[in-house]
C-alpha cells in the first residue's frame, strides 16, 4: 500500500516525496523531528509532541513555517489520508535548501515533512519475556556540545552506540553521560525499580524528556507508586529488581538482562507489568 506523505503543504505518494540534495537537513543534519503514535485513529499526546518540536526548533534558531494550529491540522490531515488506525508518525522540519557550507542563512525556507506508517522496533516475545541490553562505550553527547534535549536530526551519537549493541547481539544499548552516570538508551528512556520505587535519570543527566517517559511518571503517581527522577549508575541497574524502557516507537518494554547480568528475577516484574497495563489502558481510552 502506498503511503501518503505531507511535503511542504502537499499530500503526495511516498515514492514521490523527495527532498533536495542541497537541503541542509540532508547535508548536515540541520533540523528537528518528533516521533508520535497513533492509537485508535487518534494521535497520542499531540500537543506535548508539538510543544517539544517547537522548543527544539527555537533552540537551534529554526523558524518553523507553520503555526502550532496549522501544524496540528497538517498532522491530523496526513493521518486521515493514510487511514491507519494504529501507527507511527515521523514529523521532520529541516533547515531547507541552501548553499554548500554550514551557514544556515543560505536556506530560504525550512521544509516540513510528515510521514505516517506502521512501526515495530522489537519482536513481540521481547515485550512478554523481556529484552537484553549492553552498556555502550560511546557516551551521550555532552550537554554543552549538543544538548540531548534538542531532538535534532543529528543522531550519529546514538547510531554509534546502536552499532555496539548490534555487535553484541542485542537490540539496544545503554548510554552513560560524561560523568559515568546512566543517561538513556539509543532510542529509549530507562526506568529502574528498586525497593518498590520507580527511578529514572533526571533531565540533568543528559537525556531527552520523553513523552512516554512523562506519561509513565504520571501513571506511577496516580497508582501511588513512589517515583523519583535522580542520579543513577550501573550499580543501581545491576542491583535493580526490575527495569524497563520507554519511547514512542518502543512504547514500554521490560529489560531482564544488562551486560550479561540478570536483572531481578530475570523476567518482567510486577510493577513493570502494572505500569504497562495502565499505559495501554490509557492510550486506548
Average model confidence (pLDDT) across the chain: 97
Question: What's the whole-number mean pLDDT along residues 22-41?
Answer: 97
CB 111 within 8 Å of CB 117:
no
Question: What's the whole-number mean pLDDT along residues 167-184?
Answer: 98
In this prediction, residue 115 has a pLDDT band, given cuts at 50, 70 and 90, of very high
Per-residue pLDDT of 223-274, as tens digits, reads 999 999 999 999 999 999 999 999 999 999 999 999 999 999 999 999 999 9
**Residue of 151, 194, 222, 274 marked catalytic:** 151
Strands 251-258 and 131-135: parallel
Could you state, in order of their start, the residue ranges of all structural domains in the chain? 4-117, 124-284
Per-residue pLDDT of 56-91, as tens digits, reads 999 999 999 999 999 999 999 999 999 999 999 999
CB 172 within 8 Å of CB 187:
yes
In this prediction, residue 122 has a pLDDT band, given cuts at 50, 70 and 90, of very high
Cα–Cα dist 186/263, whole Å = 20
Q: Which three cell numbers stand for residue 76?
A: 491530523
Q: Is 222 a catalytic residue?
A: no
**Whether CATH 3.30.470.10 fits 4-117:** yes
Q: Looking only at Cα atoms, what is the longest distance across the chain? A: 56
pLDDT for 285: 81
Strands 10-13 and 197-201: unpaired
pLDDT for 284: 87
Candidates 3.20.10.10, 3.50.50.60, 3.40.50.800, 3.30.360.10; CATH matching 124-284: 3.20.10.10
Would the CA dihedral through 48, 49, 54, 56 be positive or negative? positive
Cα–Cα dist 170/134, whole Å = 7
In this prediction, residue 103 has a pLDDT band, given cuts at 50, 70 and 90, of very high
- C-alpha separations of 273 from 129, 193, 242, 245 in Å: 11, 12, 10, 12
Q: Which three cell numbers stand for residue 262?
A: 540478570
4-117 and 124-284 have identical folds = no
Whole-structure pTM value: 0.95
Amino acid at each position: 500500500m502506498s503511503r501518503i506523505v505531507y511535503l511542504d503543504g502537499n499530500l503526495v505518494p511516498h515514492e514521490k516525496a523527495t527532498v533536495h540534495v542541497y537541503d541542509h537537513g540532508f547535508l548536515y543534519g540541520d533540523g528537528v523531528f518528533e516521533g508520535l503514535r497513533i492509537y485508535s485513529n487518534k494521535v497520542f499526546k499531540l500537543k506535548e509532541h508539538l510543544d517539544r518540536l517547537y522548543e527544539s526548533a527555537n533552540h537551534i534558531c529554526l523558524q518553523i513555517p507553520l503555526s502550532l494550529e496549522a501544524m496540528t491540522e497538517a498532522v491530523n490531515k496526513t493521518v486521515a489520508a493514510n487511514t491507519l488506525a494504529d501507527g507511527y508518525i515521523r514529523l521532520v522540519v529541516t533547515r531547507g535548501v541552501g548553499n554548500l557550507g554550514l551557514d544556515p542563512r543560505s536556506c530560504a525556507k525550512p521544509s516540513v515533512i510528515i510521514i505516517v506508517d506502521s512501526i515495530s522496533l522489537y519482536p513481540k516475545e521481547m515485550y512478554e519475556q523481556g529484552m537484553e541490553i549492553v552498556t555502550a562505550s560511546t557516551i551521550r553527547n555532552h550537554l554543552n556540545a549538543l544538548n540531548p534535549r534538542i531532538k535534532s536530526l543529528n543522531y550519529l551519537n546514538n547510531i554509534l552506540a546502536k552499532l555496539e549493541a548490534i555487535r553484541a547481539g542485542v537490540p539496544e544499548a545503554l548510554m552513560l553521560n560524561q560523568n559515568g552516570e546512566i543517561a538513556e538508551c539509543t532510542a529509549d528512556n530507562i526506568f529502574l525499580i528498586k525497593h518498590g520505587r520507580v527511578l529514572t535519570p533526571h533531565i540533568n543527566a543528559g537525556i531527552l524528556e520523553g513523552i512516554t517517559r512523562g506519561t509513565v511518571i504520571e501513571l506511577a503517581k496516580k497508582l501511588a507508586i513512589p517515583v523519583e527522577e535522580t542520579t543513577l549508575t550501573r550499580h543501581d541497574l545491576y542491583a535493580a529488581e526490575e527495569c524497563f524502557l520507554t519511547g514512542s516507537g518502543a512504547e514500554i518494554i521490560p529489560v531482564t538482562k544488562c551486560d550479561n547480568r540478570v536483572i531481578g528475577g530475570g523476567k518482567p516484574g510486577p510493577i513493570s507489568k502494572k505500569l504497562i497495563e495502565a499505559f495501554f489502558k490509557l492510550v486506548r481510552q
